Amino acid sequence: MAVSYNADIRPLFKSIDVQHMAFFCNLASYDDVKNNAPHILDRLKGVAGPVMPPATSGGPWSAANIALFVVREMDRRGLPALAMAS
């Protein structure tokens, strides 16, 4: 499954998400998202604090959208999709 940042991941980040997270990284930037993907994933899942984005800002992301983000990150790292099951 080929997942593109520009076509599949970037549209998941609403402008309000980009604004709210500007202190941490630029969610509109492929390089920033790539460099901070583990931290972003933790926030999407609510591992490192409250789930982001919050319900008041259109969140949280669906399980399918989080899985898409994970697939993109695995693809970028050259890991097989089956590793997601572990």
pLDDT digits (tens, 9 = 90+) for 6-29: 888 999 999 999 999 999 999 999
- Kindly tell me if the per-residue pLDDT of 84 is higher than 60: no
**Model confidence at 5, in pLDDT bands (50, 70, 90)?**
confident
* AA identity, residue 24: F
Query: Which of 46, 51, 49, 45 lies closest to 69 in space, CA to CA?
Result: 45
Q: How confident is the model at residue 79 (pLDDT cuts 50, 70, 90)?
A: low
pLDDT value for 2: 73
Contacts 24+ apart (CB under 8 A), 2-7: 2/75, 3/68, 3/71, 3/72, 3/75, 4/72, 5/30, 5/33, 5/34, 5/72, 6/30
What are the pLDDT digits (tens) for 27-56? 999 989 988 998 999 999 999 889 999 999
The per-residue pLDDT for 70 is: 86
